[in-house]
Amino acid sequence: MINIEQIRKNLTEAIKTSGKTQTQLSKELQVTQSCIAHYIKGDILPALDTFANLCVALDVDPADILCTRIS
């Protein structure tokens, strides 16, 4: 079962691993820095199009973030 908390943790880890700052990501995605902070805190999840662009910016597979990778 997909768990929102696990998605938040995976997203946070991907952001940290990328080495990009919240400000850099916000500029790339054309969202506010506080929006990125809310994603990390788990207050909100990105819209689908923002999520797709975030995965591209972080160079991660969406399946890894969404816990849907099939081995």
CATH of the domain at 23: 1.10.260
The reply to whether 37 falls in a domain is yes
Q: How many domains does the chain have?
A: 1
The answer to the question of residue 34 being in a domain is yes
Residue 68 in any domain: the answer is no
In a domain, 11, yes or no: yes
Query: Does 71 fall in a domain?
Result: no
Tokens of 48: 């689908």
Structural domain for 9, as ranges: 4-58
CA distance 27 to 46: 15
Over the stretch 14-58, which tens digit does the pLDDT of each residue have?
Answer: 999 999 999 999 999 999 999 999 988 888 889 999 999 999 999
Tell me if 64 is assigned to some domain: no
Name the pTM for this structure. 0.85
